[in-house]
């Protein structure tokens, strides 16, 4: 699967949705559920189909300013690719 481009608009795939409580949010998908915490949760909360991948990266770079920008981009790209392979995220 290709990596997201700066103009990709990541969003939850068809059949996937948020569930759980505000403290214990999970992504519900046809094969199960994934509990999200920390950075993973912050990334997926931004994958709303309106923000581009580039915009998500910019927001996270502001939030994690001390982290190498290329590391942020690479890590988030790999994360979204993994979720796309599992049919949890589309872009």
pLDDT in tens, 32-48: 999 988 999 999 999 99
Q: Where are the domains of the chain?
A: 11-90
* Across 65-78, average pLDDT: 91
- Whole-model pTM: value is 0.89
Residue 62's alpha-carbon distances to 66, 68, 69, 72, in angstroms, are 9, 11, 10, 11
Q: What is the reported pLDDT for 23? A: 87
What value does the mean pLDDT take over residues 8-23?
A: 95
* pLDDT at position 1 over 80: no
Instruction: Identify any residues that bridge with 89 across adjacent strands, giving them in sequence order.
Output: 12
Q: Which tens digits make up the pLDDT trace of 46-69? A: 999 999 999 999 999 998 888 888
Range 11-90 classified under CATH 1.10.10.1150:
yes
């Amino acid at each position: 699967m290709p990596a997201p481009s700066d103009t990709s608009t990541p969003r939850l795939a068809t059949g996937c949705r948020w569930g759980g409580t505000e403290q214990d949010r999970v992504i519900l998908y046809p094969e199960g559920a994934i509990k999200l915490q920390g950075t993973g949760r912050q990334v997926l909360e931004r994958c709303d189909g309106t923000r581009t991948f580039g915009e998500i990266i910019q927001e996270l770079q502001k939030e994690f300013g001390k982290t190498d920008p290329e590391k942020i981009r690479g890590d988030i790209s790999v994360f979204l690719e993994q979720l796309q392979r599992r049919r949890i995220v589309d872009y």
